[in-house]
C-alpha cells in the first residue's frame, strides 16, 4: 500500500502545485537567479533524506511538485534579462 500512497500523493502534489502556480504571482528570485518550485522541492527532499524521513506521502507530494515545475518552458535556475 505504500506505493499507492506515494502515487496518490504524487498526483495530488502535481495538481496542487499547478493550481497554486497558475493562480499566484509569486516569484522567488535574487538577481538573475530564479528559485522555481522544483528547486524548492528538491531542497526539501534533501532535507528529508538527511533527517531520515521516509513518509510516502511527503516524498510523493514533493515529487509531484518537482515534476510540475520541470515540465514548464522556463525551468532553469538562471534567467536571462528579458525572459521575465
**How many domains, in total, are found in the chain?**
1
13 in a structural domain: no
Nearest to 54 by CA among 5, 12, 17, 14: 5
- Whether 55 maps to a domain, the answer reads yes
61 lies in a domain? yes
Establish if 16 belongs to a structural domain: no
pLDDT over 70 (residue 76): no
Q: What digits encode the pLDDT tens for the residues 8-67?
A: 999 999 999 889 888 887 777 777 777 788 888 999 999 999 999 999 999 999 999 898
> Can you give the pTM of this predicted structure?
0.78
- Residue 42 domain-assigned (yes or no): yes
Amino acid at each position: 500500500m505504500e506505493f499507492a500512497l506515494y502515487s496518490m500523493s504524487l498526483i495530488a502534489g502535481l495538481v496542487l502545485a499547478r493550481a497554486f502556480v497558475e493562480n499566484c504571482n509569486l516569484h522567488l528570485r535574487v538577481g538573475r537567479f530564479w528559485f522555481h518550485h522544483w528547486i524548492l522541492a528538491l531542497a526539501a527532499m534533501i532535507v528529508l533524506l538527511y533527517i531520515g524521513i521516509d513518509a510516502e506521502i511527503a516524498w510523493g507530494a514533493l515529487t509531484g511538485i518537482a515534476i510540475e515545475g520541470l515540465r514548464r518552458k522556463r525551468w532553469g535556475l538562471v534567467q536571462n534579462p528579458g525572459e521575465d
